[in-house]
Copies of this chain bind each other. A is one copy, B any other.
Amino acid sequence: MAEPVTAESLRERVDGFLAGHDPAGERLEFLRARFDAGLAWVHYPVGLGGLGAPRVLQPVVDQRFAAAGAPDNSPRRIGIGLGMAAPTILRHGTAEQRERFLRPLWTAEEVWCQLFSEPGAGSDLAGVATRAVRDGGGWLIDGQKVWTSMAHQARWGILLARTDPAVGKHAGLTYFLCDMHAPGVEVRPLRQATGEAEFNEVFLSGVRLGDELRLGAVGEGWAVARTTLMNERVAIGGAALPREGGMIGVLARTWRQRPELRSPALHDEVLRLWVRAEALRLTGVRLRQQLAAGEPGPEGSAMKLAFAALTQQISGVEVELLGAEGLRHDHWRADRPEELDLIGRGPTYRWLRAKGNSIEGGTSEVLRNIVAERVLGLPAEPRSDTGVAWKDLPR
């Protein structure tokens, strides 16, 4: 491994791998072999699915495999594992934990979910109340988590729990890898305004976890969770879309194809939204160019904020444009979709679902705080929750 990895050498490696492994063969076997060959995530260490290569070279590998018709690891389905659990385990896990968890995570044999948010701790994530108490050599977990997507499919969950309520809220947290098949874990679908249940509530009642499932030191949970959250924000951003590739395209097509619906006032509204959508798209193009050049910037936060506001407005105008026709909904069944799809259903669904875009993955309010303080350097507000034991905080 003394030689530096280059795009060229990677292509050669993939071709060599493909010579020995039939992309049309057994899927899991192929994926495991790809992992073992260091061609899963090339920026991960050797032995853990990678080659210690620069992250920007990953697309070279993915494109080569895709061109060969190789199976993928259904990356959207295992997004939480890939985007949040894996980097956290890599950074904070023991050798045994990395060895045990990363391979089945990447091959999608084991789906992961995130057990952070609670009914009483949403924006204030460090305020979680779920307790973890020492129990022999392990831990006993009691509490309730909420907004857990994929919990009903997940084998493992990344869990933030309070191990010491008598110290400040950040100091009393510990991070665990929660066995979702353990007795005492109950997953209930959580229905949302769209009628669907994308998310779950997870009740943890006397759940026993061995100490080998603790990630990082006792009391270091917040530091570990920050790794997770940082990666969550990087992960959001989505793929590069062509012009009118997103929700604005639906509105633009309706405008074009249904001249009888048009009105002058909505014309300017559609144009304003088109301008904003295209501006946001170009912002994404520029951000991806920066990332590819190894110059990451804080613009991802801008994109999430703008995306949430924009999808809400575009879908709102779409309903207005359609008039009474736009008030017809497809169904209120409590479906359990695994992927967010703002295009697949009708205008009312889009409009309702988009309301979640400014809440999930950090509310727009929390994100504005972060931008103001970390990007702009504005001073923090006076805190009411520092220097106070968690148990004494008003709730």
Show the binding face of A for B, using Cβ within 8 Å.
264-265, 267-269, 271, 381-382, 384
A interface majority secondary structure: helix
A381 to chain B minimum Cβ distance, whole angstroms, is 8
Contacts of A269 in B (CB 8 A): 268
Contact among B264, B381, B382, B384 with A264 in the assembled complex (CB-CB below 8 Å) = B264
CA distance A369 to B13 in the complex (A): 63
A263 nearest CB neighbor, chain B only:
B268
Contacts of A265 in B (CB 8 A): 267-268, 271
Contact among B267, B268, B271, B382 with A382 in the assembled complex (CB-CB below 8 Å) = B382
Q: How many copies does the complex hold?
A: 2
Contact among B264, B271, B381, B384 with A267 in the assembled complex (CB-CB below 8 Å) = B264
CA distance A271 to B264 in the complex (A): 12
Contacts of A267 in B (CB 8 A): 264-265
CA distance A394 to B384 in the complex (A): 19
With A264-B264, A265-B268 known, 10 other A-B pairs at CB within 8 A are A264-B267, A264-B268, A265-B267, A265-B271, A268-B268, A268-B269, A381-B381, A381-B382, A382-B382, A382-B384
- Some 11 contacts from A to B, beta carbons below 8 A apart, are A264-B267, A264-B268, A265-B267, A265-B268, A265-B271, A268-B268, A268-B269, A381-B381, A381-B382, A382-B382, A382-B384
A43 to chain B minimum Cβ distance, whole angstroms, is 43
Contacts of A382 in B (CB 8 A): 381-382, 384
Contacts of A271 in B (CB 8 A): 265
CA distance A110 to B269 in the complex (A): 55
CA distance A265 to B384 in the complex (A): 48
A267 nearest CB neighbor, chain B only:
B264
CA distance A120 to B97 in the complex (A): 58
A269 to chain B minimum Cβ distance, whole angstroms, is 8
A268 nearest CB neighbor, chain B only:
B265
A81 to chain B minimum Cβ distance, whole angstroms, is 40
A369 to chain B minimum Cβ distance, whole angstroms, is 14
CA distance A267 to B265 in the complex (A): 8
Contacts of A268 in B (CB 8 A): 264-265, 268-269
CA distance A269 to B267 in the complex (A): 12
Among the interface residues A268, A269, A382, which one has the most CB atoms of the partner chain B within 10 A?
Answer: A268
A383 nearest CB neighbor, chain B only:
B382
CA distance A224 to B382 in the complex (A): 30
A365 to chain B minimum Cβ distance, whole angstroms, is 15
A207 to chain B minimum Cβ distance, whole angstroms, is 37
A77 to chain B minimum Cβ distance, whole angstroms, is 43
A358 to chain B minimum Cβ distance, whole angstroms, is 21
- Of all A-B residue pairs in the complex, the 3 with the closest CB atoms, nearest first, are A265-B268, A382-B384, A382-B382
A264 nearest CB neighbor, chain B only:
B264
Contacts of A264 in B (CB 8 A): 264, 267-268
Contacts of A384 in B (CB 8 A): 382
